[in-house]
Structures are given as C-alpha cells and as structure tokens.
C-alpha cells in the first residue's frame, strides 16, 4: 500500500509544475466568504489548496447521452491526460472500494468526483449508488460531479440529498446555431434528436439545471471548450449569462484535437486554440467572472494531486490486496486537514496583515493629491463664462480627488470697468490679486496678457482653456492634470511663501 510522505505531512506537495497553475491566491480571496470557505480544501479551486489536497475521479459512468464533436471515449492512452479517458470502468462497489483505499493511502484526499468517462447523470444508478455509500463510509470527503447538463433538472434533488457540494456543467454555447456545430445528436425521451433541435433542448436543460442547483445552494462551476471559429467569439456571452445565473467559476479549456483520437474535430482538421488565444479569451471573460486557469483537464480516473496521476497504484487487483481501516484513515484525514487548514489560515492572516501594512504605509507616504483652491469667473456659478477683467466676483472652490466643494464667493472690483477707470486698473488688479492670494488656479473664459502675467507672478495660474465648460467638471480636470504632472507633490505657493 503506498504511504504518504510523513516527514512533514502538512508541507505542500504538488504534482503540478507551478508554472502551469495560473490561478492565484487572489482568486480564492475574490470569492465571497462562504464560497471561499467551502472551496478552501478543494484542489481545483485555489492555487493554495491544490498544493496540499488531492482529489480522485472514479470512472463509474461509461454511457453518454449526447455526442460532442470533440469526444471519443473509445480511445485510451495511459500517457494521456484528457477528460473522457480511463483505463478501467468501475461498478459502484468497486468505486467505493477504490475510493476508500486511495483515501487511506493519501490522507490529503479531500474530493471525490465522478467525471465520466461518459456522463455522470447518464449513469444515475452507479453515480448515486457510489455517492450513497461514500457519504455513509467517508462523510469527510467532498463529493463532486461533472455533467453535460442534459439530465440535470431531473436529478438536482438527488444531488442535493447526497450533499454533493460542487457540480461542473460543460456549457459550450447558449446559441443553438453554434450548438449544432458542436453536438451532432442527443438522446432525449427515448429517441435520437439531431441538429438545431438537439442543441435547443440541451441548452435549455443546462440553463434550467444551473438555476436549480444555485437555488439549492450547490456550487456550480461551468466548463467550456474553446473551439476556434465556432464558439470562441461567443464564450464571453456564455460567461456573462452563467455568472448572472449564479455559477461561481468559469473554466475555459482549449479544444484537444488530434486525428489520432478519432474525434470528429480531430478527423476534420478543426484546430485547437493557441495558448495566446486561450489566454486572451480567459482575460476577456475575467471581466465578467472568476476564471479558473489551472485546470489540468484530468482523466476521468485521475488519482492524487493535480498534475500527477497515481492511478496505476490503485488498480482493482492492487486494492484487493490492501488492508484498510476506514475509521482510522478518516481520523488521519480529518486531523491532517485541520492542521493544513490552520496553517493556511495563518498564512492568509499573515498575508492580509502584510497587505494592510503596505496599504497603511502607502497612505502615509504617498499623497493621493492634496486639496487645491481655485477661483472661478462665472456669472451663474455653473458655467465658466466670464472674462477675468469683467468678473464681479469669483467663486472659490476647494478641489480634491473626490470632491469639488464651494468655499464661498469673493467680490472683485472689475479690472476692465471702461476708459474712465483705466487709471485705477493697476490698483483694481492688485486688490483682486490680494483677494485671490490663497488660490492656485483662476479659471475664466478669457484673460488679457497683462493680468495673465501678474497672476502668474503672484503664484496664481490663470486658465482660460475651459471656457463655457461646467465649473465642477473643469475644476476636476484641472486638479487631475495637476496631480499627473506632479504639481500636487509640493505645498501651494502661498503656503511656501508664508
């Protein structure tokens, strides 16, 4: 019987090359608290968990009720890792035996999934018999299933009754025209349905099933296969819709297409996406919802940590020879899980404390921009419509990153009062400059050269470039420009003078 590493059982062990595991701790941090708590020991849903916890799929579901153009369940290669591939199909009793054997040998085991090689819900007897027995004999294991969704509405209540925690639905489209290019037929109500009608039924069952699962509090992940030229432009819309209906994660996977696999797409030369195309689509969809990026597209009989396959250690022949103490094994798993979760919680707390410190430091050292006082020449206070020399008063604003606050108005002796006042002009201007001395900017519709120079010399920057604009918007734009040009790093000129 294989034994786990015991020198430091809570140390992360990962079969994944870390470069492939693109999900981040941020991914789990972005989930709401209750979802994050439910997926914290599910290796598929966080980078952290997949280094500590293992999962296995039991291949109890050989039959399928639809045909996808990318699938051929006859093909098996033990060197190949792709959904739909298995070495042994199991009965429910064999699946239970294998699960208990694996869970005894690998105490990091936290999740048991049924993911084929056909469809879990096209084989309901075996699927639910497996869940029924395991929920009695290994109640600490989380149960998952993957489905194409065709029979989902019929089985949602049974799924809930066995406390299945997560369901993955493969949804490649919500448009039956696109679906007709992916699904040549479905088996529905004892008959084979083809073409657009087949896709209409499938899509409607998938959407209904998704809604019913969410209503019952079951976590739903949506898988989509990206097929260039067929659904690549459409998957962003799929992401938007499934998120709106409550799916918590979307996993866009590349089409695996090779003539040797004997699939329709493989034989007709349909290409898969390049890594760049896949990433671009995942980035595009990420605006709409949490994206999973570290899926390993595991075999339907995968065993162990993500990225490793220990299936060969647990063939039916080998597990027959194993002596298993189920209760002791469950005790070990529960103790190990508690230790790992405590360690992860400590790491998360340290991470949060560190980021809080960084934020505090940032706030203390990096000014987000100080307030700027501005004078505005405006007849109404709403629009910058007044020539500096004609202004009877100036509205005084205090402008910050998120507010434009009026401090009051200040009377101005009109600088251009007509010929009779020309001799007084210099005095008038001097009085106005004095009354605006604490302002850094003066916004007006127009201004002459001479007063422009005098304002500048007094440390007040005249600005006539926002003529006839809304006062608040113009003030914000001027503040932003000052921030970006670094003018807000220093105290205002009048304070520096003082």
Applying CB under 6 A, the residues found at the interface with ligand SF4 are 44, 55, 115, 295-298, 306
- CB 57 to ligand SF4: min, Å: 7
Closer to ligand SF4 at the Cβ: 85 or 298?
Answer: 298
Query: Rounded to an integer, what distance in angstroms lies between the CA atom of residue 297 and that of residue 300?
Result: 9
CB 250 within 8 A of CB 242: yes
- CB 245 to ligand SF4: min, Å: 20
- CB 367 to ligand SF4: min, Å: 45
Closer to ligand SF4 at the Cβ: 46 or 296?
Answer: 296
- CB 147 to ligand SF4: min, Å: 12
Query: Rounded to an integer, what distance in angstroms lies between the CA atom of residue 195 and that of residue 177?
Result: 9
Closer to ligand SF4 at the Cβ: 306 or 458?
Answer: 306
Q: Which residues contact 307 (CB under 8 A, 6 or more apart)?
A: 14, 15, 16, 17, 20, 21, 296
Q: Collapsing DSSP states into helix, strand and coil, what is residue 72? A: coil
What residue spans of 321-448 are helical by DSSP H?
326-365, 425-435
Closer to ligand SF4 at the Cβ: 298 or 329?
Answer: 298
- Residue 252: what are its φ and ψ, rounded to 5°? -90, 120
- CB 227 to ligand SF4: min, Å: 18
Closer to ligand SF4 at the Cβ: 249 or 396?
Answer: 249
Closer to ligand SF4 at the Cβ: 111 or 376?
Answer: 111
- Please return the burial class of 394, using the count of CB atoms within 10 Å of its CB with bins 0-12, 13-18 and 19+: buried
| Torsion sign, CA atoms 207, 208, 209, 210 | positive
Query: Rounded to an integer, what distance in angstroms lies between the CA atom of residue 470 and that of residue 458?
Result: 26
- CB 42 to ligand SF4: min, Å: 8
Closer to ligand SF4 at the Cβ: 103 or 474?
Answer: 103
Q: Which residues contact 188 (CB under 8 A, 6 or more apart)?
A: 65, 150, 198, 201
- CB 180 to ligand SF4: min, Å: 26
């Amino acid at each position: 019987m294989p034994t786990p590493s015991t020198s430091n059982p809570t140390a992360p062990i990962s079969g994944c090359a870390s470069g492939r595991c693109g999900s981040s701790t941020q991914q789990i941090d972005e989930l709401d608290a209750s979802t994050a708590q439910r997926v914290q020991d599910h290796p598929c849903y966080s980078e952290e968990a997949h280094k500590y916890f293992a999962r296995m799929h039991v291949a109890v579901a050989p039959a399928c009720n639809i045909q996808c153009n990318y699938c051929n369940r006859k093909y098996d290669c033990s060197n190949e890792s792709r959904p739909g591939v298995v070495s042994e199909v199991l009965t429910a009793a064999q699946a239970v035996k294998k699960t208990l054997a694996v869970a005894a040998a690998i105490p990091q085991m936290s999740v048991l999934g049924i993911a084929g090689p056909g469809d879990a819900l096209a084989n309901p007897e075996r699927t639910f018999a497996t869940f029924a027995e395991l929920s009695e004999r290994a109640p600490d294991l989380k149960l998952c299933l993957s489905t194409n969704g065709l029979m989902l509405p019929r089985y949602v209540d049974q799924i809930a009754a066995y406390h299945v925690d997560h369901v993955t639905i493969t949804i490649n489209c919500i448009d039956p025209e696109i679906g007709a290019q992916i699904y040549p037929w479905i088996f529905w109500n004892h008959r084979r349905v083809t073409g657009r009608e087949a896709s209409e039924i499938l899509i409607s069952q998938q959407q209904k099933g998704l809604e019913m699962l969410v209503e019952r509090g079951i976590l739903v992940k949506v898988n989509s296969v990206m097929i260039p030229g067929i659904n690549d432009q459409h998957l962003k819309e799929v992401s938007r819709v499934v998120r709106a209906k409550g799916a918590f994660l979307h996993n866009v996977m590349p089409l695996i297409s090779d003539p040797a696999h004997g699939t329709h797409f493989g034989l007709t030369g349909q290409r898969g996406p390049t890594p760049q195309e896949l990433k671009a689509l995942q980035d595009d969809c990420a605006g709409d919802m949490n994206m999973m990026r570290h899926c390993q597209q595991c075999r339907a009989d995968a065993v162990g940590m993500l990225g490793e396959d220990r299936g060969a250690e647990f063939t039916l022949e080998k597990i027959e020879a194993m002596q298993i103490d189920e209760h002791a094994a469950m005790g070990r798993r529960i103790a190990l899980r508690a230790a790992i979760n405590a360690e992860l919680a400590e790491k998360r707390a340290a991470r949060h404390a560190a980021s809080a410190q960084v934020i505090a430091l940032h706030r203390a050292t990096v000014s987000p921009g100080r307030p700027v006082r501005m004078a505005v020449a405006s007849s109404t206070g709403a629009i910058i419509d007044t020539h500096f020399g004609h202004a009877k008063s100036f509205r005084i604003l205090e402008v910050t990153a998120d507010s434009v606050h009026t401090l009051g108005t200040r009377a101005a002796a009109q600088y251009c009062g007509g010929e009779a006042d020309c001799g007084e002009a210099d005095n008038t201007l001097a009085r106005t400059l004095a009354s605006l001395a604490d302002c850094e900017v003066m916004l007006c519709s127009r201004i002459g050269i001479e007063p422009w120079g005098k304002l500048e010399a007094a440390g007040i920057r005249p600005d006539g470039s926002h003529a006839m604009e809304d006062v608040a918007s113009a003030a914000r734009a001027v503040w932003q420009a000052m921030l970006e040009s670094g003018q807000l790093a220093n105290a205002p000129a009048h304070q520096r003078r003082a």
